[in-house]
Amino acid sequence: MKVHSLADLTAVRRALAERAARDAAAREAERVERERRDRERRLFELAVGPVQPLRRHGRVEPARGQVEPLPKQRQRDEAAVMREALSDEFDVETLLHTDELLSYRRPGLGPDVVRRLREGRWSIQRQIDLHGLRTDEAREALGRFIRDSHHLGLRCVRVVHGKGLGSPGRTPVLKGRVLRWLVQKKEVMAFVQARPADGGAGALVVLLRPA
């Protein structure tokens, strides 16, 4: 750094003094840290006494692969919530509209919502087929399907429950349960019986509320 005046010389001296102060502070900090580590080492030696390294045992340690953690407890908790949240005893009859076809809409929604859903104005974005599932399996699968579809931002899905032709007495047992379960899901705004091309009496088209 070139010095052209007394002011420049003063600035140089100040910069050198500041650098010397920083260096001294750094050295002092290092000294304090060394003393702290020495004190801790001495305290450890006093606490545990003399030690000696273990002899080599000669064993070969097998390589252990990384196990992917599975959130099993969370899955069990969610399944329990599903079972408790969706009741088979829920009275759904008073909430259903049984004009020429079966339909449901949440209070406050106009009939035009159901009409548009029935006319296919909403494109079906995803579906689940509950054929062959036991009641508990179907309940959990449907609850998970509705929740995941809503989280994905989907608005219109199809639930295939079957017509019950293979059930004892040819009675659609699963259909009635699916109606009860859907009405209890807060994500569901409305549903209608599917058009013949979409499954007819064996399926429902469900409108989900916006995510």
The torsion angle over the Cα atoms of residues 71, 76, 82 and 84, rounded to 10 degrees, is -150
| pLDDT tens digits along 165-188 | 655 555 567 888 899 899 989 999
Q: Which residues of the chain have pLDDT under 70?
A: 1-9, 49-51, 53, 57-58, 60-71, 73-101, 164-172
The per-residue pLDDT for 148 is 95
SS3 51: coil
Q: Taking each helix axis as running N to C, give the angle between helix 135-151 and helix 72-85, from 0 to 180 degrees, rounded to the nearest 10.
A: 100
The per-residue pLDDT for 147 is 94
pTM above 0.85, yes or no: no
| pLDDT tens digits along 54-68 | 777 667 666 666 666
Query: Which residues, other chains included, contact 209 with Cβ-Cβ below 8 Å and sequence gap of 6+?
Result: 150, 186, 187, 188, 189
Whether CATH 3.40.50.2000 fits 78-208:
no
Beta bridge partners of 103: 97, 192
Domain boundaries, the chain: 1-49, 78-208
The per-residue pLDDT for 28 is 87
| Segments of the chain assigned E as strands | 96-98, 102-105, 126-129, 156-160, 188-193, 203-208
Rounded CA separation 202/196 (Å): 9
The per-residue pLDDT for 165 is 61
